[in-house]
Amino acid sequence: MSQPSNKPTLTPQFCFNETALRADFLRLSRATIDDSIIQNLNALVTPAREGFDPSSTAARQVQPARRRPIDPATCQGFKEKVLFQSWQTRSDVLNYCAGVALDPTDPDLVLREAETAKDRERVVDERLDPYSGRFFPREARTESLGNLIRNERGVEGIIRARTWGLVTERCGDVGVRWEEALNRWRESTDGR
């Protein structure tokens, strides 16, 4: 069984480092759990007790083979110990970084304001460089981080919906949305 994602040390520097946040944490966590959900679910199935039947290869199978059901207790254990744990870790990181993005004390603010003032004072002959007259202010780090977090939350919703669809197909939690299941798990773990 896969292991849940380890929670990184949360600092503002971690959030502003897009490589650490996106590639090293989010992509790795998603690849380990969500992108390989079929393999993770197949690993939960107990191997056949009857053994291999050579006659099963005598005729071509045109219909897909039935998927073996997963023991409900095993499936529930996977959801509680691995799937929801990983989702919660990613939610915690995204929530922390969203808080950092809302912090009004952006350390780059003074630098950006100085650059803006300096660029306004420039005198440029646009005949020599037609693009120099345009001024493209840098986006604040907090704004950039906010956009990144908004995008990653959207991606997270799509990934969780896809993963949950496959889990419900194999585990039989039909009719329960992933948000409801995750909130129930959160409530049950908060009480412990």
pLDDT along the chain (192 residues), means of 10: 76 90 92 89 74 71 64 89 94 94 70 66 69 64 90 96 92 86 90 44
Query: To 5 degrees, how large is the angle CA 175–CA 156–CA 91?
Result: 95
Contacts for 37-43: CB closer than 8 Å, 24+ residues apart: 37/163, 37/166, 37/167, 38/166, 40/1, 40/2, 40/78, 40/82, 41/70, 41/75, 41/78, 41/166, 41/167, 41/170, 41/171, 43/1, 43/2
**Residue 191: predicted pLDDT:** 46
Query: What whole-number distance in Å separates Cα of residue 160 and Cα of residue 37?
Result: 11
The upper half-sphere exposure of residue 108, i.e. CA atoms within 13 Å in the direction of its Cβ, equals: 16
Query: What whole-number distance in Å separates Cα of residue 152 and Cα of residue 71?
Result: 33
Look at the alpha carbons of 153, 155, 156, 158 in this order and tell me if their dihedral is positive or negative.
Answer: positive
**Residue 102: predicted pLDDT:** 85
Write down the pTM of the prediction.
0.75
Q: Which residue has the tokens 């896969």?
A: 2
Query: What whole-number distance in Å separates Cα of residue 57 and Cα of residue 51?
Result: 14
Burial class (CB in 10 A: 0-12, 13-18, 19+), 91: middle
Look at the alpha carbons of 104, 140, 154, 15 in this order and tell me if their dihedral is positive or negative.
Answer: negative
**Residue 8: predicted pLDDT:** 86
**Residue 86: predicted pLDDT:** 94
**Residue 49: predicted pLDDT:** 57
Q: Which of 46, 49, 39, 35 is nearest to 69 (CA)?
A: 46
